[in-house]
Structure 1
Amino acid sequence: MTPDDYCQQKAAASGSSFYYSFLFLPPDRRRAIMALYAFCREVDDVVDECQDPALASTKLAWWRQEVDRVAGGQPQHPVGQALQAAGKSFNLPAEQLLEIIDGMEMDLQQARYLDFKGLSLYCYRVASVVGLLAAEIFGFQDRQTLRYAHDLGMAFQLTNIIRDIGEDARRGRIYIPMDELKQFHVPAADILNGRYSDNFTALMQFQMERAERYYDQALAQLPAIDRKSQRPGLIMAAIYRTLLREIKAENYQVLHQRIALTPVRKLWIAWKTWAFA
């Protein structure tokens, strides 16, 4: 199996909506974004699947060394090898790859966020940095596109937090800021124990409206000259905003289930967005 095959399988097996946005890219850009996505999956899986925080920290330290080996031309892992190949054509700074690992490591250090300022740093590291790297791979002419990529990454991560709130709670994590739980009179115990209430619904509506503002802000900042090259991000935005509407239609019943779109629906949205964006 080649490094590219490994990354392709890693991306496809995840079932992520991101996978559908990559399918329409030219081969060189598709290989590069698959490598970046596989890297994110590898380091995220370390945190989500490793029960021992000390072991997870050790594994993340190994990935930090692998990023250094990628920069030095001697990667060991198939994902590292694919990233090295991608780096010959696209600007993928080691500093930004390391910052993604910094974000994953935050999950080993804290399970709560006092306010949105603290959560924003986490979202920046695990999502906006990925968006900035992806923008480099997709290609752009106007640097304003990087502001779009930053805000779109924030919107994606806020959507993930809404979608995964129950799943995260079962891991002992609550990403919704503590001051907002207090503002809406939702005890953390309600999240952890899967208890719904009118206050919880109002809290989730607040979270969704903030995510929507980031989508609106991002799309307003995308220069017309880069719209076609950045279509994968527009596909993701279309899929994720459809998901948000589904969650709202289900009255934010996200504590006991993971609401998702079917693969066929994602593919339809991806094709339609690519054709008409």
Structure 2
Amino acid sequence: MLESRLYRRAALWPPREPLRPTSPNAVNFDDYCLQKAAPPGSSTYYALRQARAARQPLLTALFALRRELEETAKETSDPTVGRTKLAWWQKELAALAAGNPAHPVTQALAEHLDDANAVYPDLQALLAGFEMDFEQARYLDLPNLRRYIEGVGGTFASLVAQLSARTQEDRQDAARWAAPLGNALMLAQFVPEIGNDARHGRIYVPIDELQRYNVTAADLINRRYSAAFTELMQFQTSRAREAVHAALDAIPAPARRDQRTLRALAALELALLDEVEREGYQVLHQQIVLTPVRKLWIAWRAARRN
């Protein structure tokens, strides 16, 4: 009951206009992007609310594109069908660069981007990262996994950072610090999703690390907990946490104000790691999440921290 009351109050606080389309002719595709990427109560919703109002529709469209690609890669069981869908997205991104997109997400990007051609190479790199999900489902070691992490995580964070920056100098500097933060966020996201990913046939824990802790892929797929699994998860959680903190510390002081969305996402991932730890790493049979009111508070506080 208390949390219910808090949540109703939270909907009115902080006193900022909600994410919404910026013009009447943008209603359809902006609303589509909101529902795809940032439904109310989601971590993305609260992280995007921390961005400058003028940048929120663009960033929402970018997160919606990532969600479209992620759904294609992770929720398509037939690799042939998945590759066909990603090939369609490849053509759609080319259409975006050419100025004639057809999908609501790319239409939103075209509406809000100053120069679609400028980000086209990064959008291609993001799609290529998700294509790796149809090439391999397990990775021998961390360097092998890092190719996937950099494509899906580092590239995306760099895009968010560049599109959040106010000046050309800040946009150029973002490439230096944003990719490591995106990579760290991917490491953090793997931890609570390890059971769900395994059930979908994908394991993002390197094989050599499974062997080091005497945990098998079958243990993950069949939801078998053990002392060895706990030790493995302690290692994964500690590495992810350290990587996120190091990447946050690397954000230049002048850029911190404009990078509130990424900073909020990082704080939310760190809080979720803490929650997984408190729950004894019971992530194989359930999904551990934060409540909406906690997400709101964590995101708001992180975005305003110096």
TM-score range, shorter chain: over 0.9
Counterpart-to-counterpart distance in 2, 1:95 and 1:267: 33
Taking a change above 3 Å as real, the CA distance of residues 144 and 220 of structure 1, as seen in their structure-2 partners, is farther
SS at match of 2:38: helix
Match of 1:157 in 2: 186
Determine what percentage of the aligned residue pairs are the same residue. Answer: 44
Counterpart-to-counterpart distance in 1, 2:291 and 2:37: 16
1:163-185 alpha-carbon deviations (Å, 9 max, x no partner): 11100111111110000001111
Map 1:1-277 onto structure 2 (within 5 A).
1-13=27-39, 16-88=42-114, 92-139=118-165, 141-142=169-170, 143-277=172-306
Match of 2:3 in 1: none
Name the aligned partner's letter for residue 157 of structure 1: M
SS at match of 2:281: coil
The Cα shift of 1:118 comes to: 1.0
Counterpart-to-counterpart distance in 2, 1:113 and 1:16: 30
- Structure 2's unaligned 5+ residue stretches are 1-26
The Cα shift of 1:91 comes to: 7.7
The Cα shift of 1:8 comes to: 1.4
1:31-56 alpha-carbon deviations (Å, 9 max, x no partner): 11011001011111112222221111
1:202-241 alpha-carbon deviations (Å, 9 max, x no partner): 1111111111121122122111111111111111111110
Counterpart-to-counterpart distance in 1, 2:251 and 2:301: 19
- Asked if the contact 2:153/2:186 (under 8 Å) is kept, the reply is yes
The Cα shift of 1:103 comes to: 1.2
The farther-off stretch of 9-18 and 235-244 is 9-18
TM-score of the pair, normalised by structure 1: 0.94
The farther-off stretch of 24-33 and 170-179 is 24-33
Size of the alignment, in residue pairs?
Answer: 277
The Cα shift of 1:90 comes to: 7.7
Counterpart-to-counterpart distance in 2, 1:93 and 1:49: 26
- Asked if the contact 1:33/1:134 (under 8 Å) is kept, the reply is yes
- Structure 1's unaligned 5+ residue stretches are none
1:121-167 alpha-carbon deviations (Å, 9 max, x no partner): 10111111000000011106445443321111112111111111100
Counterpart-to-counterpart distance in 2, 1:91 and 1:234: 27
Structure 1 outlier segments of 4+, above 3 Å: 13-16, 89-92, 140-145
